Structures are given as structure tokens and as C-alpha cells.
Amino acid sequence: MSEIKRSKIKDLLHMEAGVEVLAKGWVRTKRGNKDIAFIALNDGSTIYNVQIVVNKADFDESLLAKITTGACIGVSGKLVESIGGEQAVEIQAASIEIYGECDPMRYPIQKKGCTMEFLRTVAHMRPRTNIFGAVLRVRNQMAFAIHEYFHSKGFVYLNTPLITASDCEGAGQMFKVTTLDLENLPRNKKGQVDYSQDFFGKETSLTVSGQLEGELGATALGEIYTFGPTFRAENSNTPRHLAEFWMVEPEMAFYDIKDNMDLAEDFIKHLVKYALENCKDDIKFLNDKVDNELISRLESVISTDFVRLPYTEGIKILEEAIANGTQFEYPVSWGTDLQSEHERYLVEKHFCKPVILTDYPKDIKAFYMKQNDDGKTVRAMDVLFSKIGEIIGGSEREASLEKLDARINELGMSRKGLEWYVDTRRFGSCPHSGFGLGFERLLLFVTGMSNIRDVIPFPRTPKNAEY
Ligand code: 4AD
Ligand code: MG
């Protein structure tokens, strides 16, 4: 077996019949009759399996008995034209090696009864299923497409810290990082925890966003992006929230809110197009098995202009909808933060296309956003998508030292840990903008999956940190 080089199943399925091949992978199914066995083998390189045809008389019965669903095997033999099979070619087995047996009584991934909920309880094994294989391959392609997109535009990939002493979004939803003995905390004279004795000599947390450091990068390098994990200790048990998720945050000097919206729209369209072109087999599979409207939804996003609408106009539309009998769980009025039901109403019912909502009330947005002349709103932009709601959040940033200072004071924020950030406005301040795309929210859209726990390999959610 060792003389032949192993081929990935993805490549092997496109080879000419007649060659000798070696395939290695995990058994999906074995069926057959008393003379012949058919094994469907998958190695993760493609959604498709290769069919192995085994002439039972040529092999030991004890070896064949070990070929059960989930077992890992290597098979060499001739690639022959397949008669009646889904694929053009199949392997006529000449030799089979068993690498790892798989007890059929204990293997959790059975063909029947594997709901998404059940698979979450065996998330260490679920990448072996067709759906998760497809989702994880699409995830990989999308990560590559993100880097490629920004690289081609000359953006610098900036690595921002995961451990931080500042709360970018100001929402207080941070996981603390400490080496203090929680059973025996050091206290100062006032009885407060004495963080000067902690590892970093101050209170630190896992970051909720790389933006503040991203702004330092943009105001030196011009255009940067970050792409990494972010953490939020919000106790939101919804199909759209994770405690650990990946965010892409571009930040650009000399961009105003319009340039920012143009980039966000072009970026998402590019990613969706990339998925349709480069993940054809997996997207087709997800369209067939998970969501029959997936491909048409993806195609329509590429070809439509996103609606651009001020928040105030959005509220009017929602209030009119209520007056005309639409019922929402949460109330709507100027000044309230929109719930996902409201966002989805605008996108799915009213406009029937993606919406970029701008100019939100300053009190429901973060301190760093550029203040409009009306004194009430800020130059925020949220991109809203069907089925998901908010997929991107961003803004033009407040470039004026005076105004930023005033807002920090107004909100009663501690200045101590923020002086370095304010320095960007103190020394050569410039107009700039940026946004954050939730990577898993993008993946929900691109794969048609309905729960965010199913587009990340090992989800972190309230009361769940398994694996
Ligand atoms: O709107 P957010 O909170 O914006 C920021 O963090 C800004 N600092 C971004 C920036 O301007 N550079 O988060 C940005 C995006 C959201 O639109 C959403 O897609 C995603 O991150 N997101 C989450 N995704 C999964 N689980 C959560 N708990 C999320 N919270 C936000
Ligand atoms: Mg947001």
C-alpha cells in the first residue's frame, strides 16, 4: 500500500479511471450483499464520499467486520468507472488497512436521529457529519476570503491584544482575567480588591473588541483590519449570541460614514460571491439539506443595493407598522434600541433587502462615535440582514478632542485607562471610520444554518465551555 501516494478524495473523484490510487478516511456507511460490500469513505476534503467496492471473497471476514461506520481505514486499488453511482469513479479495493476501529454500539454519530441539538452534546465528534464538514469548510474559505479582500486593498493586518484594561463598548460585559486567589482576595484599606497585587498590576479583562487599538493602527498605517476572537459576558441565550466569537474590524483613516458604508457593502458582497464561487459543493449541499432558499438569498444579496436609512426614519416605519396592526414583543419609540424583531421587520417585511441604519441616538451607542450637529444622534451604522438582524456595527469616529473629552466626562467614564486612546485626537487627529463584522453572523447567512452554535467548532455560551 505504501508505494502509492495518498490522494485526497476531492482530487481522486476527478481523476481518470484506470489509475491505481490510495485513499484514507473515515467510513460513512457500509452496505452490500453476500458477495460484495460497498463502503462510502470520506476524508473531510469534500462533501462527497468515494465509493469503495469490495469483493468479499478477496478479504478476510474478520477484517471486513471491522469496517463499520466511523472506523478509519486506508484503501488502495484501481479507480474504475462507476456504474449507476452518484460519482463518475469508484475504487475497486485491492488492499485494505484498518487504522482505527469504531465500536458501532458506542459511536454517537449514527445516520438517524442526529438533530442539531443532539450534535451539540457531542460537538467533539460532529465535524464528522456532512453538515458540519460543509460548515467548517465554508468557515475556512470565508476566513481566507477576508484576508484576501483586505490584502488586495492594501490594508494592514493588525493584531490587537486579547487581554485589555479598557472596555471598548462600555457595556461592562467583560470576562475578568486574574491570577489573584479568588478564595483569598487581597483588599486595600477601603475593603476593595487590591488589583495592584494582580498579575498586570491592574484590573484586566478579555477584550470585547479590538477597535480602540485598531484606531491607533489606522491613525498611523492608514487602513488596518483585525480578525480574531472577542469575548462578551452577556447572558444572552439566543441563536445569534456567543460568549466567544470572531470579529473582523477594519479601521480606516480619512473615511467618512459614507465611505464606511460603501466598504461594508462591498466587503459583504465580495464574501458572499466568494462563497458561491469557491464553496459550490458545500453550499449546494446546505441548500438541499438545510435551507432551500439559501442560494437564491445569497444571489440576491450580491445584486441588490442595500437600503441606507436614518434610525429616525426606521422608527417611523416601525411605528406605522404597529399602527397598522403589526405586533412586536418589545415596544418601539425614538430612543429605544432596536430588537432583532424590529430589525428583521425592516429587512424582511418592509424593504425585502439588506438595510444600513444610520444616525442612532447617542445614548444607545458607544462613546467614540462622531456626534452629529443635532446634539442627539451619532454617526453610527448598523448593517441589518434577513434572518440575522445586525451583522455589522460601525461608525465614523469622533475626531475632535474637545467633543470626545466632553462625551467621556458626560458618561462618567474613567479616564485613567483611556489616555492613550485620547492621544489619537491630541496628536494629529484625523477623520476616520470603521466597523465590526461578526464572523459567525456572516457564517449564519452564508451557510443557512439557524443557530450560531452550529457555525463555530466549539461554541462558548452561558453554562457551556465543553471541549
Ligand atoms: O456592534 P458591536 O458591538 O460593535 C463593536 O464591537 C465595534 N467596536 C465594532 C467596530 O466598529 N469596530 O459588534 C460588532 C458585530 C455585531 O454587528 C455582530 O455581528 C457581532 O459583532 N457580535 C456578536 N456576534 C456573536 N455573538 C455576540 N455576542 C456578538 N456581539 C456582537
Ligand atoms: Mg452593535
Residues 172-225 have pLDDT tens digits of 799 999 999 999 999 999 999 999 999 999 999 999 999 999 999 999 999 999
133 C-beta closer than 6 A to ligand 1: no
Residues 6+ apart with CB under 8 A from 33: none
Mean pLDDT of the chain: 96
Residues 137-185 have pLDDT tens digits of 999 999 999 999 999 999 999 999 999 999 888 887 999 999 999 999 9
Residue 414 scores a pLDDT above 90: no
pLDDT of residue 141: 98
Sheet architecture: strand order including 355-361? 156-157, 223-231, 244-253, 432-438, 389-396, 377-385, 355-361, 307-310
| Residue of the CA atom closest to atom 25 of ligand 1 | 241
**Choice from 209, 223, 337, 370 to test ligand 1 binding pocket (greatest atom count within 8 A of CB):** 209
Q: Which amino acid is at 391?
A: I
pLDDT of residue 171: 81
Contact 441, 447 (CB under 8 A): no
Residue 113: band (very low, low, confident or very high) from pLDDT cuts 50, 70, 90: low
245 C-beta closer than 6 A to ligand 1: yes
The secondary element (H helix, E strand) that includes residue 206 is strand 204-206
Residue 116 scores a pLDDT above 90: yes
- SS3 of 211-270: the string is HHHHHHHHHHHCEEEEEEEEECCCCCCCCCCCCEEEEEEEEEECCCHHHHHHHHHHHHHH
365 C-beta closer than 6 A to ligand 1: no
Atom of ligand 1 nearest to the CA of 391: 19
25 C-beta closer than 6 A to ligand 1: no
pLDDT of residue 1: 56
436 C-beta closer than 6 A to ligand 1: yes
Contact 334, 319 (CB under 8 A): no
441 C-beta closer than 6 A to ligand 1: yes
| Residue of the CA atom closest to atom 23 of ligand 1 | 438
367 C-beta closer than 6 A to ligand 1: no
User: How far separated are the first and last CA of the chain, in Å rounded?
Assistant: 35
Residues 349-370 have pLDDT tens digits of 999 999 999 999 999 999 999 9
Q: For residue 234, give the ligand nearest its CA.
A: 1
Contact 194, 262 (CB under 8 A): no
pLDDT of residue 112: 72
pLDDT of residue 310: 98
Residues 6+ apart with CB under 8 A from 125: 107, 108, 109
Query: DSSP secondary-structure letter at 19?
Result: -
Residue 292 Cα to ligand 2 middle (Å): 29
Residue 302: band (very low, low, confident or very high) from pLDDT cuts 50, 70, 90: very high
Percent of the chain with pLDDT over 90: 93
Residue 381 Cα to ligand 2 middle (Å): 9
| Residue of the CA atom closest to atom 27 of ligand 1 | 241
314 C-beta closer than 6 A to ligand 1: no
Residue 266 Cα to ligand 1 middle (Å): 19
Atom of ligand 1 nearest to the CA of 392: 17
**Choice from 169, 441, 455, 460 to test ligand 1 binding pocket (greatest atom count within 8 A of CB):** 441
| Residue of the CA atom closest to atom 9 of ligand 1 | 436
453 C-beta closer than 6 A to ligand 1: no
Distances (CA, A) of 196 to 168, 206, 215, 262, 348: 22, 18, 28, 45, 51
